Structure 1
Amino acid sequence: MTNLHKLNLKKEANIEYCDIRETHNALMGEWNRINLQISKMKQPKLFLLGYKKRLQDLGRELIILQKDFLSWNAKAGSFLDKPHFIFTENEGELGFIHYTSLLMDIRNKLDNYMVLIGTNYNNLQDFYSNRVNFIIAITSFLLTFAGLVATLIALNL
Structure 2
Amino acid sequence: MLKNILLVGVFVVLLGCGRHGNGYDGWDENYVETGTGVTMWLPKKMHTRMYYSSVVEDYAKTCGQSQYLDVNLLPEPQDVYRDDADGVRTYAFCSTFSVHEGRKTKLNSPDVDRTVYHDYIFNVMMNQKGEVLDCDYIYSESTTDSPISNEPFKFPIIIFK
TM-score range, shorter chain: under 0.3
Name whichever structure is richer in strand by fraction: 2
Q: TM-score, normalised by structure 1?
A: 0.21
Q: TM-score, normalised by structure 2?
A: 0.21
Higher relative contact order (CA 8 A, sep 6+): 1
